[in-house]
């Protein structure tokens, strides 16, 4: 028998659309780089579309280095769960070699956007803030990216996501010498000396320069290119500091992010002042008076009076607390999210069924307010995590942003539950009520690897919700100030009200979704639930408009057995095998 040619033995199986890699069917090639190729693929078990990244097909020279890079990327991204970082679903090995399964991004690389010219200043700042937030999250978990550039940032429907951690370095582990892309590498990378968080900040500053000028850096350039006119002096100074040769003189990612947010707030105030100046004096006086009222109203929007557990117990929570809910004594837990401490309860079942649920309460509530919902799911044998949202209960004070930061908090809670219980993320669901329901929907967009999202009374549009809440609490005469108050709250809290309106995002949810809403809700009309349901595209979705519930988030109070039956019916139909199917509750 003729022996195979040596070069044929060095070839790896070639991947092509139609091939199966594990449980993933390759649909089309999305792109390739120096040693990686990315396919759009379908997960044949879960039915979702993903991005599958494998080492480049063909000859295997340098294969060990390529495989090491892929594994390094998996190790780095596995610890990161953030709306501005691509999500890793899985890592595996097939005949073609190792592969990553990643979130399939809908958008375009920043590099392609920049082919059409420089970005306007405001757009560039939005991208920079998103990337800085990603770096703050990664650095807090000990991960350096080390190759930040336009090709490694994706623009996805108004959100920037950082990807390709192929040469990332985990703090405390040996790194790669002189790794990166010339032109974006900090001096310490070029010299092979020690790197830290400020190495990534140097690259981000270069990225901002390129967005504003449209000029890619030269690999051997003597220094940063000039920014030109129209760039605020404060931003120019910030970029100069971030690209100091001595990295100890650069800001870290958190300080850099705070400086960018301060610059955004200042520019918004300047634009508002310029608009007022264009009006005649008496019109300007009326506008200023309205602005003062709206400013005070915006303080109610982003800074609620902090609720204590005792206040909630006196209002809507179970008077008997945990014991009345039929739950065992919980474990007190605390976890970090974006520099603040959140506190809550972890309930461990006596006979775990390999599942978990994280709960997010509403505006005028704390973890105590979710005890009834938790008791409805307790019979399934799941670990349950209830926590006080930022600025509520025993958690730290921080401005309320209706989802911008809260969805990051909720993802951090999921990570805590997974680590504390050993339950995989694919067997953890979300449950939110009122404001927490809208936050849970926003979070579900970012976490397609979770089991499900259940919501009780979410709002669809933030501005409409603010008007309805103003009418309910203060009467119709203050409603005209609701919309400007929301705008000012967004400026002060550095968020866009459109970005915290679930109706704009739910079409991207890929996990089973339940929406409950009382038809007689006096605060959020049931039509909000219908709007959200109509936008959903996941095949596993359910809308239950409850005729028997008496008002806002009162279904679990009015008929606990019927409420639990609604939750069980959804899980049994759309998430079969989630925990134990309990016996029907007594009526």
147 an active-site residue? yes
Q: How confident is the model at residue 273 (pLDDT cuts 50, 70, 90)?
A: low
Q: How confident is the model at residue 496 (pLDDT cuts 50, 70, 90)?
A: confident
Task: State whether 88 and 153 are in the same domain.
Answer: no
* Three-state SS at 116: coil
Q: How high is the mean pLDDT of the chain?
A: 82
Residue 170 has pLDDT above 70, yes or no: no
b/e for 82-95, b at 16 or more Cβ within 10 A? bbbbbbbbbbeebe
Task: State whether 87 and 41 are in the same domain.
Answer: yes
99, part of any domain: yes
Lowest mean pLDDT among 107-116, 127-136, 309-318, 334-343: 309-318
Quote the number of domains for the chain.
Answer: 3
The pLDDT value recorded for residue 472 is 73
68, part of any domain: yes
CB atoms within 10 A of CB 525: 17
Task: State whether 230 and 143 are in the same domain.
Answer: yes
CA dist list (Å): 578 to 35, 111, 285, 452, 511: 40, 42, 60, 10, 14
CA dist list (Å): 557 to 138, 223, 554: 42, 65, 5
User: What is the CATH classification number for the domain harbouring 194?
Assistant: 1.10.510.10
User: What is the CATH classification number for the domain harbouring 25?
Assistant: 3.30.200.20
Task: State whether 125 and 91 are in the same domain.
Answer: no
CB-based contact 443:421 (threshold 8 Å): no
Q: Is 196 exposed, middle or buried (0-12, 13-18, 19+ CB in 10 A)?
A: middle
The pLDDT value recorded for residue 278 is 61
Q: What is the DSSP string of 227-290?
A: --TTS-HHHHHHHHHHT-SSGGGS--HHHHHHHHHHHHHHHHHHHHHHHHHTS-HHHHHHHHHH
130, part of any domain: yes
User: What is the C-alpha radius of gyration for the chain, rounded to an integer number of angstroms?
Assistant: 26
Share above pLDDT 70 across residues of the chain, in percent, rounded to a whole number: 78
CB-based contact 128:81 (threshold 8 Å): no
Residue 437 has pLDDT above 50, yes or no: yes
Nearest Cα to Cα of residue 482 among 471, 492, 491: 471
Average pLDDT over residues 335-354: 93
Residue 293 has pLDDT above 50, yes or no: yes
470, part of any domain: no
Strand pairing report for 331-337 and 340-347 = antiparallel
Last residue of a domain, one of 207, 232, 264: 264
CB-based contact 79:128 (threshold 8 Å): no
User: What is the CATH classification number for the domain harbouring 522?
Assistant: 3.40.50.1820
Please state, in angstroms and rounded to a whole number, the distance separating the CA atoms of residues 577 and 453: 16
Please state, in angstroms and rounded to a whole number, the distance separating the CA atoms of residues 139 and 373: 35
Task: State whether 441 and 515 are in the same domain.
Answer: yes
CB atoms within 10 A of CB 301: 26
Task: State whether 365 and 503 are in the same domain.
Answer: yes
Q: How confident is the model at residue 284 (pLDDT cuts 50, 70, 90)?
A: low
Please state, in angstroms and rounded to a whole number, the distance separating the CA atoms of residues 471 and 480: 10
Q: How confident is the model at residue 91 (pLDDT cuts 50, 70, 90)?
A: confident
Segment of 33-37, 302-306, 379-383, 447-451 carrying the highest mean pLDDT: 379-383
Q: Which helix (H) or strand (E) holds 89?
A: strand 88-94
Lowest mean pLDDT among 244-253, 300-309, 450-459: 300-309
Task: State whether 323 and 443 are in the same domain.
Answer: yes
Last residue of a domain, one of 40, 69, 103: 103
Residue 160 has pLDDT above 70, yes or no: yes
11, part of any domain: yes
Nearest Cα to Cα of residue 371 among 418, 336, 331, 319: 319
298, part of any domain: no
Residue 296 has pLDDT above 70, yes or no: no
Task: State whether 63 and 39 are in the same domain.
Answer: yes
Task: State whether 315 and 453 are in the same domain.
Answer: yes
371, part of any domain: yes
Residue 2 has pLDDT above 50, yes or no: no
482, part of any domain: no
Domain region containing 335: 309-464+490-574
Please state, in angstroms and rounded to a whole number, the distance separating the CA atoms of residues 53 and 38: 4
Task: State whether 533 and 449 are in the same domain.
Answer: yes
**Residue 21 token pair:** 């890699």
Strand pairing report for 88-94 and 49-55 = unpaired
* Three-state SS at 59: strand
Q: How confident is the model at residue 460 (pLDDT cuts 50, 70, 90)?
A: very high
Say what angle helices 121-140 and 253-277 make with each other, to 10 degrees.
Answer: 150
More confident residue, 541 or 486: 541
Q: How confident is the model at residue 422 (pLDDT cuts 50, 70, 90)?
A: very high
Task: State whether 85 and 197 are in the same domain.
Answer: no
Last residue of a domain, one of 103, 126, 158: 103
CB atoms within 10 A of CB 586: 6
The pTM of the full predicted model, rounded to 2 decimals, is: 0.69
**Residue 505 token pair:** 């995002």
**Residue 413 token pair:** 């809670």
Task: State whether 334 and 360 are in the same domain.
Answer: yes
Nearest Cα to Cα of residue 196 among 151, 257, 246, 127: 246
Q: Which of 43, 90, 130, 147 is catalytic?
A: 147
């Amino acid at each position: 028998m003729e022996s195979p040619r040596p070069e044929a033995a060095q070839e790896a199986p070639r991947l092509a659309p139609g091939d199966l890699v594990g449980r993933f069917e390759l649909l089309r090639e999305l792109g390739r780089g120096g040693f990686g190729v990315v396919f759009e693929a379908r997960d044949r078990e879960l039915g979702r579309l993903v991005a599958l990244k494998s080492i480049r097909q063909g000859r295997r020279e340098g294969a060990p280095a390529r495989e090491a890079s892929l594994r390094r990327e998996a190790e780095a991204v596995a610890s990161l769960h953030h709306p501005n970082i691509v999500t890793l679903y899985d890592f595996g090995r097939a005949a073609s070699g190792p592969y990553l399964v990643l979130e399939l991004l809908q958008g375009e690389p920043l590099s392609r956007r920049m082919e059409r010219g420089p970005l306007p200043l405001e757009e560039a700042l939005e991208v920079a803030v998103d990337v800085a937030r990603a770096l703050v999250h990664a650095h807090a978990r000990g991960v350096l990216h080390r190759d930040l550039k336009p090709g490694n940032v994706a623009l996805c429907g108004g959100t920037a996501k950082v990807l390709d951690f192929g040469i990332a370095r985990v703090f405390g582990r040996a790194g790669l010498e002189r790794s990166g892309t010339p032109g974006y590498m900090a001096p310490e990378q070029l010299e092979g000396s020690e790197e830290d968080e400020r190495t990534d900040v140097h690259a981000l500053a270069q990225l901002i320069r390129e967005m504003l000028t449209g000029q890619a850096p030269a690999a051997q350039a003597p220094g940063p290119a000039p920014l030109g006119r129209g760039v605020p002096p404060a931003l120019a100074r910030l970029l100069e500091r971030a690209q100091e040769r001595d990295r100890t003189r650069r800001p870290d990612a958190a300080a850099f992010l705070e400086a960018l947010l301060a610059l955004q707030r200042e520019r918004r105030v300047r634009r508002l002042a310029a608009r007022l100046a264009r009006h005649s004096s008496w019109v300007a006086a009326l506008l200023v008076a309205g602005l003062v009222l709206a400013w005070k109203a915006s303080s109610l929007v982003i800074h609620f009076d902090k609720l204590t557990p005792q206040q909630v117990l006196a209002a809507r929570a179970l008077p008997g607390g945990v014991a009345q809910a039929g739950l065992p004594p919980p474990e007190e837990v605390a976890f970090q999210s974006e520099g603040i401490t959140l506190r809550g309860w972890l309930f461990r079942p006596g006979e775990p069924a390999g599942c978990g649920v994280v709960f997010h309460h509403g505006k005028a509530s704390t973890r105590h307010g979710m005890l009834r919902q938790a008791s409805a799911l307790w019979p399934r044998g799941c670990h349950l995590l209830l926590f006080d949202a930022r600025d509520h209960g025993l958690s730290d004070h921080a401005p309320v942003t209706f989802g911008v930061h809260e969805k990051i908090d909720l993802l951090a809670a999921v990570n805590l539950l997974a680590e504390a219980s050993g339950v995989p993320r694919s067997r953890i669901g979300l449950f939110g009520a009122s404001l927490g329901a809208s936050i849970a929907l926003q979070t579900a967009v970012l976490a397609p690897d979770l089991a499900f999202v259940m919501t009780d009374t979410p709002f669809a549009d933030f501005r409409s919700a603010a008007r309805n809440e103003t009418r309910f609490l203060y009467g119709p005469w203050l409603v005209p100030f609701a919309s400007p108050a929301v705008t000012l709250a967004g400026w002060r809290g550095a968020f866009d009200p459109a970005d915290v309106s679930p109706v704009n995002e739910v079409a991207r949810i890929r996990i089973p979704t339940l929406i409950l809403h009382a038809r007689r809700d006096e605060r959020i009309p049931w039509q909000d639930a219908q709007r959200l349901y109509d936008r959903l595209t996941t095949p596993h979705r359910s809308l239950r408009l409850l005729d028997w519930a008496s008002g806002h988030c009162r279904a679990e109070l009015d008929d606990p057995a019927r409420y639990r039956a609604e939750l069980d019916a959804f899980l049994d139909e759309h998430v079969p095998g989630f925990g134990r199917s309990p016996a029907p509750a007594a009526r």
